[in-house]
Amino acid sequence: MDGLFYGVNSIVSTTWATRNQSPFVGERIRCTDIGNREFYWNGIVWLPIGSNLIGQSAVASSITGTTSETTLASITIPGGIMGSNGVVRVTAHYSTTNNANAKNLFVRFGGSVAFVNTAATSVTYVVRNEIRNRNALNSQVSNQISSGATTLAAAILSINTAVDQILTITGQLANTGDTITLEGYSVEVLPS
């Protein structure tokens, strides 16, 4: 037999960037650059098999001694993985110095602010944020997920999700004597 045949149940190891651009329905791949995640082609988009987790960590990362916005975590969202109505869901757990000084918590997507909130007298803080494509790969709305009402306005973005984008979790102190610690995070992609 000349060449290889990849059946529906065969899994080909590849990177996201070099995945088959003309797949057949049911084709499966394992992306070695996204934590060996497996995907299948449904005829329209590549969908993950199993968990939608793109990145996670429980290794603490802290800021102190500076008032500059500082990156605490950086995760690559592979181009095209969201689809035109997909979602990136970010959950970040912080601990902060317990005083009245402002401690700004950010999620940036493609360099743009998708979420910002200020923690002051809280010792711990949990950020849940969703960035949703709006029926296009270059139009998003980003909201804080909350069990109740929030006073935070939605962020309107125009990031091209057809190409790799960096999602960063950052923090910024108002007082150099304070500390923000990112205790852990998870980033999920729910493709359309």
| pLDDT value of residue 69 | 97
| pLDDT value of residue 150 | 57
| pLDDT value of residue 120 | 81
Instruction: Report residues of the chain scoring pLDDT below 70.
Output: 1-9, 51, 146-151
| pLDDT value of residue 34 | 80
| pLDDT value of residue 40 | 85
CATH 2.60.120 is the classification of domain 52-190: yes
What type of residue sits at position 72?
Answer: L
| pLDDT value of residue 123 | 86
| pLDDT value of residue 5 | 44
| pLDDT value of residue 124 | 87
| pLDDT value of residue 51 | 65
| pLDDT value of residue 9 | 60
| pLDDT value of residue 148 | 47
| pLDDT value of residue 87 | 93
| pLDDT value of residue 170 | 97
| pLDDT value of residue 77 | 93
